[in-house]
């Protein structure tokens, strides 16, 4: 399941970037996101039987907290951000890559500072290479 979960995440992320780039420019971005979440809600109900809830669904619904609200806010920001990025000229080939490097650098910092995670010298070298890569990708001659 370790590898399968990563494959599912990659397929989802690639599909997401491809399809968000194809959202018609004339549709209101918030209406587009509302449609997305309605569809996601319906699809989630169909997926629910694949993930049985030990102790019943009610037990799990009671465990919902402010974290789901915070995640919803974060996902909405991400959705609006990517939709507007592509709408205002970012390329599919570079938009996610550029933002992804910054996202990952910030996540490394959060992991180190807030979660006491450790990074190795090789990780630090990778971060520097990533920053250089973004600089090269973003360079316009």
Q: Are residues 7 and 62 in the same domain?
A: yes
pLDDT, residue 83, reads: 94
Q: Are residues 85 and 98 in the same domain?
A: no
Q: Are residues 37 and 21 in the same domain?
A: yes
Q: Summarize pLDDT for 61-116 with one digit per residue, the tens.
A: 999 999 999 999 999 999 999 999 999 999 888 888 888 888 988 999 999 999 99
Query: Which single residue is written with the structure tokens 């971060």?
Result: 127
Paired tokens of 27: 């549709």
Q: Are residues 14 and 50 in the same domain?
A: yes
How far is 141 from 138, CA to CA, in rounded Å?
Answer: 10
Q: Are residues 6 and 24 in the same domain?
A: yes
Q: Are residues 80 and 113 in the same domain?
A: no
How far is 132 from 103, CA to CA, in rounded Å?
Answer: 15
Question: How far is residue 63 from each of residues 21, 28, 91, 129, measured CA to CA in Å?
Answer: 35, 34, 40, 41
- Sign of the dihedral through C-alpha 6, 12, 14, 17: negative
Q: Are residues 78 and 27 in the same domain?
A: yes
pLDDT, residue 141, reads: 63
């Amino acid at each position: 399941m370790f590898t399968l979960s990563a494959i599912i995440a990659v397929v989802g992320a690639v599909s997401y970037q491809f399809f968000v780039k194809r959202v018609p420019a004339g549709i209101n971005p918030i209406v587009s996101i509302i449609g997305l979440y309605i569809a996601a809600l319906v699809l989630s109900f169909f997926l629910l039987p694949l993930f049985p809830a030990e102790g019943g669904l009610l037990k799990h619904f009671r465990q919902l907290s402010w974290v789901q609200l915070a995640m919803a806010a974060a996902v909405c920001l991400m959705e609006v951000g990517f939709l507007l990025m592509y709408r205002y000229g970012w390329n599919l080939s570079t938009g996610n890559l550029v933002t992804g490097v910054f996202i990952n650098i910030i996540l490394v910092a959060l992991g180190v500072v807030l979660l006491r995670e450790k990074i190795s010298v090789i990780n630090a070298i990778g971060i520097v290479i990533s920053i250089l890569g973004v600089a090269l990708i973003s360079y316009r001659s």
